[in-house]
């Protein structure tokens, strides 16, 4: 076991950076015109390899919009379930198609593969690009399937701040809660990517940066990019166990 990874208990997969939105708060920056996406089999093999070495408690898939590639999402979570991972989490804006039959099929697959925690990104920023009708259809299908669903809005400055974006977010959240979504979480936007460009007037010297950066000497989360890069290696080029064992902080 690599001493720098001894406390690792989470795996995150950026399925793709391609997205159905162009949100001005996005910390990833401008969505690329063409983005790679993770191969289902290669991503699943990474889950098996990492779980064989470490006590992983959470596997998360996100993007971009991960459900543009539902086979990859399903393969990752199916592998996580087989490895006994307790929390199998998906973050999505709920808008990956306008075909309601395909929405139903995708939700059925999410239920079958073992996703047990869906965070739905709905707020003033997402709904500027993401049609609420389709995100709501997705939410209703998820609720009908019995998959735990939480609203995951992005808050500006703080959850309680009375700026216009947060007020609109509260109205949108209210409409989704009326559908039967009871739990609301969310994160405060930090200055990075498009947020730094379009929302800079809301940030000051006291604004915190990303809360997701790991200490390179005590990595808790193994993060795999849409191109397969992780911990200084690439799952398309090297075995994941070799990557884990050879990792050293830069």
CATH number for position 71: 3.20.20.70
- Lowest mean pLDDT segment, chosen from 14-23, 73-82, 205-214: 205-214
Higher pLDDT, 204 or 247: 247
Helix (H) or strand (E) run with residue 51 in it: helix 40-53
d(CA 127, CA 118): 18
Higher pLDDT, 221 or 35: 221
- For 120, the 3-state DSSP assignment is strand
Tell me the backbone φ, ψ of residue 6, rounded to 5 degrees: -60, -25
Does 44 have pLDDT greater than 70?
A: yes
Does 208 have pLDDT greater than 90?
A: no
What are the tens digits of pLDDT across the range 129-165? 899 999 999 999 999 999 999 999 999 999 999 999 9
What are the tens digits of pLDDT across the range 22-41? 999 998 877 776 789 999 99
Share of the chain above pLDDT 90, in %: 90
- For 37, the 3-state DSSP assignment is strand
Q: What is the number of structural domains in the chain? A: 1
Q: For residue 59, what are the domain limits?
A: 3-246
Give the pLDDT score at 209. Answer: 81
């Amino acid at each position: 076991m690599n001493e720098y990874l001894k406390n690792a208990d989470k795996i995150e997969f950026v399925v793709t950076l391609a997205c159905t939105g162009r949100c001005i708060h996005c910390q990833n920056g401008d969505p690329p015109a063409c983005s790679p996406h993770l191969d289902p089999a290669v991503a699943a093999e990474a889950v098996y390899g990492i779980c064989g070495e470490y006590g992983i408690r959470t596997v998360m898939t996100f993007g971009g919009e991960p459900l543009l590639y539902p086979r990859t999402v399903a393969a990752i979570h199916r592998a996580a379930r087989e490895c006994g991972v307790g929390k199998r989490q998906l973050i999505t804006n709920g808008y990956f198609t306008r075909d309601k039959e395909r929405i139903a099929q995708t939700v059925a697959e999410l239920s079958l593969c073992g996703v047990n925690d869906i965070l739905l990104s709905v707020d003033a920023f997402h709904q500027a690009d993401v049609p609420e009708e389709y995100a709501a259809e997705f939410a209703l299908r998820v609720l009908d399937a019995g998959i735990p669903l939480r609203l995951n809005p992005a808050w500006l400055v703080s959850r309680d701040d009375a700026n216009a974006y947060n007020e609109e977010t509260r109205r949108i959240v209210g409409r989704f809660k009326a559908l039967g979504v009871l739990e609301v979480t969310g994160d405060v936007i930090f200055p990075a990517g498009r947020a730094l460009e379009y929302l800079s007037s809301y940030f000051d010297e006291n604004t915190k940066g990303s809360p997701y950066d790991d200490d390179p000497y005590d990595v808790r989360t193994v993060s795999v990019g849409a191109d397969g890069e992780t911990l200084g290696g690439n799952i398309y080029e090297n075995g994941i166990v070799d990557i884990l064992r050879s990792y050293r902080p830069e």
